[in-house]
Structure 1
Amino acid sequence: MILKSTSFENGGTIPRKYGYKNENFSPPLIISQVPAETKSLVLIMDDPDAIKAVGKVWTHWVLWNIPPNIQQIAENSIPINSIEGKTDFDEIGYGGPAPPDKEHLYIFKLYALDIDLNLDQNSTKADVEESMKNHIISEAKLEGKYAP
């Protein structure tokens, strides 16, 4: 499975407009080579560099029950029937990069699952990760950097 963006290269710089304090648009994502047996996809975006600044990995986006036949997630949108969960901003939906100190690495993780998740919109990354245990078929990731 492959996860890419048309707005930045893997390991490259995430454009300013996707930042939390700017336009806070979610970036466009391209999904390919999803295994045939996939029932749903999960996308988690987080900031592992936040551990030094705030003491934990900061969750920026949690999106689940993405249809497995989806080939792209358009900028600032989510696929039909997908559900967005709660971020560490205590908000539902995308919360863009917002490093408090220096450049941070942001990781978009895509998971192919053999089930749909039965979770409500107030669910968190921890809830999603617990629900998808033993159901992950494949994983892909996309990394980008963002500085204040």
Structure 2
Amino acid sequence: MRLFLKILLGSIMALGVLAVIMHFRAKSQREEEKAYHTGLPKNLTLSSRSFPPNGDMPVNCTCKGQELSPALAWEGNQPDAESYVVLATDYDVPTPAFPVFNLSHWVVFNLPASARSLPEGASAEQMRMLGGKVGKNSTGDSKYIGPCPPLGRHGYVFRVYALDEPLSFTVIPDKQTILNAMKGHILGYGELTGYFGK
């Protein structure tokens, strides 16, 4: 019995240490992204017909509903833009009080310069017709992940970037690969945050 308790206590302590390490790693990654955006011109206005700025995302755009990607539209004078990128991230996993993971919900790239919006529930076919491509989310799938917070009210940060060239990859990229490839090519960006959960 004592051996069992020692093993159990040791396992709990190990999990606690791992959680703390992951928490600080997630915090560091978020700070790195904050630094990444410092100095970038925030000259695009990103909006959504699906939810208001800093408002609640509709159930249809979450795992509780149909898990449709939200409608997005962006405005801004970008005559030199050659492509657009859209990224969506939840920095509050599993709970805003103690995040341990930054979850990438949506990675869209190479939208043409003529594109200024995405419809709600954009299908793979619609994305192809628009000329855009979908990268890998945090689960490794090339699709939108709807909000599904286990604890607390999470913030979902959507960002759109105007680039001076399309991006080229030999494999399907994830969010970090996109961020690395965009460096030096960003003409401007805009962001919008929606919330979901209790």
TM-score (norm: length of structure 2): 0.70
Which structure: larger Rg?
Answer: 2
2-structure distance, mates of 1:61, 1:136: 19
Structure 2 partner of 1:129: 179
After TM superposition, give the deviation of residue 19 of structure 1 in Å.
0.5
Deviation at 1:20, TM superposition (A): 2.8
Report deviation, 1:37. Answer: 0.5
- CA distances 1:23-48 after superposition (whole Å, capped 9, x unpaired): 11001111211411111000000001
Among 20, 33, 45, the alignment partner of 2:76 is 33
Structure 1 distance, partners of 2:171, 2:142, is: 7
Shift of 1:103: 0.8
- 1:17 match: 60
Structure 1 stretch displaced more, 122-131 or 73-82: 73-82
Structure 2: give runs of 5+ residues left out of the alignment.
1-43
- The equivalent of 1:118 in structure 2 is 168
> How far apart, CA to CA, are the structure 2 residues paired with 1:142 and 1:42?
14
Given that 1:5 and 1:29 are in contact with CA atoms closer than 8 Å, whether structure 2 keeps it comes out as: yes
Q: Name the SS for the 1:94 alignment partner.
A: coil
Structure 1 spans left out of the alignment, 5+ residues: none
Give runs of ≥4 in structure 1 deviating > 4 Å: 51-54
1:105 matched to which residue of 2?
A: 155
Contact 1:34 1:112 in 2 (8 A): no
Aligned alpha-carbon RMSD (Å): 1.7
Percent identity of paired positions between Structure 1 and Structure 2: 28
Q: Work out whether residues 84 and 121 of structure 1, in 8 Å CA contact, stay in contact via their aligned partners in 2.
A: no
Bigger proportion of residues as strand:
1
Higher helix proportion (structure 1 or 2): 2
Amino acid at match of 1:124: D
Counterpart among 85, 91, 116 of residue 42 in structure 1: 85
Deviation at 1:75, TM superposition (A): 1.0
Q: 2:133 matched to 1:90? A: no
Query: CA separation in 2, counterparts of 1:146 and 1:120?
Result: 35
Shift of the 12–144 alpha-carbon distance from structure 1 to 2, 3 Å rule, reads: same
Q: Which has the higher contact order (CA 8 A, sep 6+)?
A: 1
Distance in 1 separating the partners of 2:178 and 2:106: 12
8 Å Cα contact 2:50-2:120 kept in structure 1 = no
C-alpha displacement at 1:121, in angstroms?
A: 6.2
Q: Are 2:181 and 1:138 equivalent residues in the alignment?
A: no
